A and B are shown apart, each in its own frame.
Chain A
Amino acid sequence: MKYTIEPLGDNSMIIELGQDMSHEIQQKVKKVSSFFEENRFDWVIETVPGFTTVAVFYDPLKIKTKTLPYDEVCAFLEPLLEKLEVDGDAEPRVVEIPVCYGGEFGPDLEEVANHNGLTVDEVIDIHSNGEYTVYMIGFAPGFPYIGGMSERIAAPRRSNPRLKIPAGSVGIAGKQTGVYPIETPGGWQLIGKTPQKLFTPDGDTPSLLQAGDQIKFVPISEEEFQKIEEDAK
């Protein structure tokens, strides 16, 4: 696998696997992330995937060396990373996210439709039939950066961001779609809401989604929304 390693700080480094956001690079990011998860080197504190990178935070004190810990780590990793190859397309995990579109849950659905010269139903249809990949989790706990939305439903951010966007809101910003895991301020156009929790701080894996997952948005009615929300209690 081709890569470059560069320091991020004096106890972290970034492994870069390409320049552009693509499926191929995404597969490499996933491969390198799993490499660290499988090996659990005792000097690694944690790894954080980006769109084209994997950052490694490490403890220099745990690296026995007469030279610089960073140099030692690079020399150790280089042959291992070189040998690493993406073995075909690993079957991604598919996560279904139920969404109740429009109404009070998606106050901007009509605006997105008007902006693109579509009907509300067409927007729902396009959004729920897309094939989406989670590139990374960031910005907020459990917040997925999702690629793969059709440009036919792209819409600019609101000029006047909302101070409070409820957790579970599904939105569109430019060519991206996303789901808000916790209540935050934000400028996304809201088209719906999911009753599915994306962030559960008491679990081992607090985020429903992980980098590399595939997402399917499944339209549900308001009754189904309420039922799922009740069942989760």
Chain B
Amino acid sequence: MIKITKPGLLTSVQDLGRYGFQKYGVITSGVMDTTAHRIANSLVGNAENEATLELTLLGPDMEFREDTLISICGGNLSPSIDGKPVKLWRSVLVSAGSKLKFGGCKTGCRAYLAVAGGFDVPEVMNSKSTYLRAGIGGHNGKALQNDDELSLGKPSELSEKIAKVLAAQFGENKFVEMQWTISSDFIASSASKPLVRVIKGRQYDWFTIESQMKLFTEHFEVTSQSDRMGYRLKGPELALEEKQEMLSEAVSFGTIQVPSEGNPIVLLADRQTTGGYPKIGQIATVDLSIMAQLKPGDKVQFVEVSHEVAQQLYLDREKKLHQLKQGIALKIRQETK
């Protein structure tokens, strides 16, 4: 069991999302940075879709009531256990009674805390994700509060093995980190103006040539009106060639839509299921993690990529993630021989 002693800015239980219900207007919810979430799960021996805690900018304080295998991936929110810094992107075994805290946000803005066995919250419509606005899923349908107690699920065989490797090195320490970590290829760039690849949107041709060019040549800044639903960006005004009304249709994670005032909105994990604003672009799935780690004030540069290349990049990335998972299992097998 884990007890929350300070909730942080916005801490919620999320998995890879709630699918199959968008036709009923039920949003997918789910983690913002799927790569960090999946790797965090892999490092503790969980299935990739197991729920993690998504921490935002200011992380929570919590107390472990039992020895727990954890991993923290994603943005660096300065985690520490009983005053000692904890490394990201690693398997970490924490002893019962330890206190995990987060300090300032050094890189990115969202971190994912996975625990072996996952969080034991009920599935609502096949998912553990918290749908904040409708108050369903996750822990009581809400962001975590003070004194919330989270029960943990049953660890997998692989989880047990990882914990065993680390337990051998425990000694007097409050926690032990695995010696090895994952390849830096998977860690989203913390460049100051990251490049994010974008496919032309379905209504790209509705925009003036000038706007089309500006989308791919100028910078856009993430404004403070940004949350899990979407980021409002500020940059050059994007205008339609002529006023056109659009009938609402489905949108997707990473859709860039432009309301009439001309500032683009990037739709993210808590997006509505459908939208009626023209879509100038669509962020390539492989670059969504970069976008999800941007915070208000950060700048981004969009780079055009064809749909074909974006899909190929996705297939390549999935292959690498699959190899990473196998690599972790292999390493643990060798070390527990």
Contacts and interface: CB of A to CB of B under 8 A. Distances in A.
Interface string A32-66: 01000000000001111111110101001100000
B252 interface: yes
Contacts of A49: 23
B73 interface: no
B173 to A, nearest CB: 40
B226 to A, nearest CB: 19
Interface string B67-79: 0000000000000
Contacts of A142: 24-26
A202 interface: yes
B134 interface: yes
A7 B20 CA distance: 19
Given A143-B25, A207-B24, A10 B247 contact: no
Contact of A7 (B136, B199, B312, B313): B199
Interface in B1-44: 19-27
Contacts of B247: 21, 50-52
B125 interface: yes
Interface in A1-27: 6-12, 14, 21
Contacts of A21: 247
Interface in B291-310: 307-308, 310
Chain B interface size range:
35 or more
A217 interface: no
Contacts of A57: 19, 22, 252
B323 to A, nearest CB: 14
B175 interface: no
B289 interface: no
Contact of B314 (A11, A53, A138, A181): A11
Contacts of B308: 68, 70
A8 B252 contact: yes
Contacts of B253: 9
A207 B315 CA distance: 34
A53 B273 CA distance: 13
Contacts of B273: 48, 137-139
A142 B311 CA distance: 32
Contact of A52 (B23, B136, B249): B249
Nearest to B285: A10
A21 B23 CA distance: 18
17 contacts: A8-B202, A10-B285, A10-B311, A10-B314, A14-B250, A21-B247, A48-B22, A48-B273, A53-B249, A57-B252, A60-B311, A68-B312, A142-B24, A142-B26, A201-B125, A201-B134, A202-B124
Q: Which 8 pairs from chain A and chain B are nearest by CB? A: A55-B250, A50-B249, A207-B24, A138-B274, A51-B247, A10-B310, A48-B250, A137-B25
Given A68-B311, A138-B248, A210-B23, 14 more contacts: A10-B307, A11-B311, A11-B314, A14-B249, A55-B252, A57-B19, A69-B315, A138-B272, A141-B25, A141-B27, A181-B25, A182-B134, A199-B24, A201-B136
Interface of A: 6-12, 14, 21, 33, 45-53, 55, 57, 60-61, 68-70, 136-143, 145, 181-182, 184, 199, 201-202, 205-207, 210-211
